């Protein structure tokens, strides 16, 4: 598996397995781990800390929403864009 195409799936309540599979195919990533979304977690810092874990290249975060849509974050700017969507859709206080 190419680490540049690896991702951790961040799942919102109500996500189906097919949503994860479809998102991975759409974004061309292989899912390493699945975890539930935690509104208290700083995902920008979390992703930064993932860089050296496997091969020194970054691991993306794929956010899968309850409506079946998904977005992939490769860097801090992507995460900021996704967090704006999270706030709009779920009304989370971040």
DSSP secondary structure of 49-93: HHTTTTTSS--EEEEE-TTS-EEEESSHHHHHHHHHHHHHHH---
Give the N- to C-terminal CA distance of the chain in Å, as an integer.
33
Confidence of residue 54 (pLDDT cuts 50, 70, 90): very low
Read off the pTM.
Answer: 0.80
Average pLDDT over residues 42-53: 67
Residue 78's nearest CA partner among 56, 62, 91, 54 is 62
Alpha carbon dihedral 40, 74, 71, 19, in 10-degree steps, equals: -90
Task: Supply the DSSP symbol for 41.
Answer: S
Q: Which segment of 39-43, 47-51, 60-64, 75-79 scores lowest on mean pLDDT? A: 47-51
β partners of residue 33 = 8
| Total tally of structural domains belonging to the chain | 1
The label of the residue with tokens 């779920």 reads 90
Identify the domain containing residue 16 by its residue range. 3-90
């Amino acid at each position: 598996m190419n680490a540049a195409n690896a991702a951790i799936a961040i799942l919102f309540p109500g996500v189906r397995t097919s949503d994860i599979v479809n998102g991975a195919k759409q974004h061309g990533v292989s899912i390493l781990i699945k975890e539930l979304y935690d509104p208290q977690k700083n995902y920008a810092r979390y992703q930064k800390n993932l860089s050296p874990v496997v091969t020194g290249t970054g691991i993306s975060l794929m956010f899968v929403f309850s409506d079946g849509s998904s977005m992939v974050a490769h860097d801090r700017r992507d995460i900021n864009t996704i967090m704006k969507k999270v706030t709009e859709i779920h009304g989370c206080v971040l």
